[in-house]
């Protein structure tokens, strides 16, 4: 009796781990497609395409759902999300969140960063994005993100092109930002 149940138990464990391995292979295959634009290891080398490495699991999942529902519009992402099941979305969120986070390069304009730092303090960006701007849950990691993408994202919220989740918190935040502030904020955040 004891042996029989142990046998069943180990068979169950084997099944669980092989299913997980298959999952991993499937998610890696999907992630190869993403790498074509979002870069190897989730670090983008391409203008206006955000890095995904270390981005938050929940945030990634929500954005994929928003793209799929047409609530967030982007010509390049549209055909991609049409191919994704809910399970793919869960797996891809976990996959990219587990990669080593993107990090900013050397700061070539510390004066602009200082302005951005002041703007971030004045606008209380850290109250939602966290003291290190690493984000939490559905609030994006923004530290070290590509500078020109951050500028684009803030302009998209400001113009209403992108409304975003969490009661459209970012639309309210971005609306009063001047172009000068956006430039400085993006420079500061991109170099953290
Ligand atoms: C053909 C290029 C392309 C491919 C392939 C692609 N993406 Fe994207 N992705 C983009 C672009 C461009 C954006 C920025 C959209 C915008 O400006 O609003 C984006 C944005 C995103 C975002 C939002 C990130 C953020 O910081 O808000 C997520 C999440 C994402 N992509 C996930 C994926 C995943 C997962 C895959 C693979 C299944 C994938 N993408 C494949 C071009 C691509
Ligand atoms: C009230 C909470 C809140 C505050 C304050 C806030 N944010 Fe956000 N931010 C969010 C949420 C929630 C999201 C995700 C929105 C979405 O789904 O598009 C976000 C998304 C972003 C994004 C998009 C990231 C990406 O990868 O596309 C940027 C950039 C950003 N915030 C910058 C800022 C800056 C700069 C400030 C200060 C001027 C700020 N945020 C203040 C809640 C906040």
CB under 6 Å to ligand 1: residues? 30, 33-34, 36-38, 48-50, 52, 60, 63-64, 74, 76-77, 80, 92, 140, 152
Distance CA 101, CA 51 (A): 9
Domains and CATH numbers, the chain: 2-98 (1.10.760.10), 110-190 (1.10.760.10)
With 0-12 / 13-18 / 19 or more C-beta atoms within 10 angstroms meaning exposed / middle / buried, residue 153 is: buried
Task: Give the residue from 49, 48, 31 showing the smallest Cα distance to 40.
Answer: 31
From CA 5, how far away is CA 162, in angstroms rounded?
Answer: 55
pLDDT at site 1: 44
- What ligand is nearest to the CA atom of residue 73? 1
- The tokens for 66 are 């928003």
pLDDT (tens place) for every residue of the chain, 192 residues total? 445 455 555 555 555 555 555 568 888 899 999 999 999 999 999 999 999 999 999 999 999 999 999 999 999 999 999 999 999 999 999 999 999 998 888 999 999 999 999 999 999 999 999 999 999 999 999 999 999 999 999 999 999 999 988 777 999 999 999 999 999 999 999 999
Nearest atom in ligand 2 to the alpha carbon of residue 66 is 17
- Classify each residue of 40-63 as buried b or exposed e, where b means 16 or more C-beta atoms within 10 Å of its C-beta: eebbbeeeebbbbbbbbbbbbbbb
What's the rounded Cα separation, in Å, for the pair 153 and 180? 15
Please tell me the distance between residue 157's alpha carbon and the centre of ligand 1 in angstroms. 17
Nearest to 120 by CA among 150, 156, 163, 162: 150
CB-ligand 2 contact for 140 (6 Å cutoff): yes
């Amino acid at each position: 009796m004891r042996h029989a149940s142990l046998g069943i138990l180990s068979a169950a464990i084997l099944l669980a781990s092989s299913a997980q391995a298959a999952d991993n292979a499937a998610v890696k295959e999907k992630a190869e497609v993403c790498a074509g634009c979002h870069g190897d290891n989730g670090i983008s080398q391409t203008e206006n395409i955000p890095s995904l490495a270390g981005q938050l699991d929940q945030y990634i999942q929500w954005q994929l759902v928003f793209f799929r529902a047409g609530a967030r519009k982007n010509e390049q992402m549209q055909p991609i999300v049409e191919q994704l099941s809910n399970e793919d979305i869960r797996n891809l969120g976990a996959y990219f969140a587990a990669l080593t986070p993107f990090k900013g390069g050397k700061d070539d304009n510390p004066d602009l960063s200082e302005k951005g730092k002041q703007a971030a303090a004045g606008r209380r960006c850290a109250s939602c994005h966290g003291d290190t701007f690493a984000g939490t849950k559905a609030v994006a990691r923004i530290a070290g993100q590509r500078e020109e993408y951050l500028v684009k994202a803030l302009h998209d919220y400001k113009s209403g092109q992108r409304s975003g989740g969490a009661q459209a918190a970012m639309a309210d935040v971005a609306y009063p930002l001047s172009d000068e502030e956006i430039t400085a904020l993006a420079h500061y955040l991109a170099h953290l």
